[in-house]
Amino acid sequence: MALFKGAGVALITPFKEDGTVNYKKLEEILDIQINEGTDAIIICGTTGESSTLSEEEHSDVVRYTCEYVNGRIPVIAGTGSNATYTAIDLSVKAQEDGADGLLIVTPYYNKATQKGLIEHYSQIASHVDLPIIMYNVKSRTGCNIEPATAAYLINNVDNIVGIKEASGDISQIAQIAHLTNGELDLYSGNDDQTIPILSLGGSGVISVVSNVAPKKVHDMCQLYFDGKTEEACRMQLDMLPLVDALFCEVNPIPVKTAMCLLGYETGGLRMPMTPMEPEHVEVLKKALSDYGLEPV
């Protein structure tokens, strides 16, 4: 059974003016997500600025989120690292802190061979009981999970259950679906490819757009599952200008900016993320407004 089906939000991490985590604001945005129909919370992922959280902060945010959500929907913790044993430590701690599953990105900077990826994921999986979703995003890590590697891992490691595919390569994604024969839960990691990936048998999306439009992303997935594919496709196409605006600078700069523009007061970014360029802010404001999300 899939960890979740539908729209999982790749949640931002709100900060106070002094740069520390704003837990009261985190509660607020978690409630909004749940009330608007989001199907799962993905905490401390790329969009949550996990790479600039200390290990102590990372664990605190995961634990706090699990306790606050309190089983209302699944909480999936991002616990990836370029160091296998760091990823193991983060994963074990997330399990202790109450996470329902793990999202583990491929090793970045030092990268890995396909054999190395098999060893990396197998070692992490052997230390936890939680279901694991692999995260394939070559544009950020320089490391690609080949379809045959994904198939090997799903067939040989019991608690590896899914993959978040953000390669952007639909042919590769189709090959993964073919080789895993429905045994691997396939999630879109790109908001502009949600419906195409659902059409290949995907289980849903891990979405940046869900931060600002959770109900619409959930409803789009649900329409597809309900057989209303034309309506779902129309929602996907209508979303594209907003998706483009939310990725006109590196994620999570635009989505964090969008949250502030919409009045959520979720704070700034941690270096080396810097404030959005003024001309891009104007593009983002227009895209939000055109999508029915009025900046305050």
What number is the average pLDDT over the span 170-197?
Answer: 97
- pLDDT by residue (tens digit) across 242-281? 999 999 999 999 999 999 999 999 999 999 999 999 999 9
User: Which of the residues 25, 93, 164, 256 is marked catalytic?
Assistant: 164
Cis peptide bond upstream of 147, omega within 30: no
Q: What is the pTM of this model?
A: 0.97
Which token pair is 73? 């929907």
Where does the pLDDT of residue 2 fall: very low under 50, low under 70, confident under 90, or very high at 90 and above? confident
User: Which of the residues 121, 135, 224, 291 is marked catalytic?
Assistant: 135
Q: Is the pLDDT at 1 greater than 90, yes or no?
A: no
- Report the alpha-carbon distance of residue 296 to residue 274 in Å, rounded: 22
Asked if residue 78 lies in contact with residue 42, where contact means CB atoms within 8 angstroms, the answer is yes
- Residue 11 CB coordination number (10 Å): 29
What number is the average pLDDT over the span 95-117?
Answer: 97
What number is the average pLDDT over the span 142-153?
Answer: 98
Residue 164 catalytic? yes
- pLDDT by residue (tens digit) across 15-33? 999 999 999 999 999 999 9
What number is the average pLDDT over the span 215-244?
Answer: 98
Residue 64 catalytic? no
Unique residue bearing structure tokens 């900060």: 15
Domains of the chain (ranges; CATH) run: 6-229 (3.20.20.70)
Which token pair is 179? 């080789």
- Percent over 90 (pLDDT), the chain: 98
- Residue 226 CB coordination number (10 Å): 11
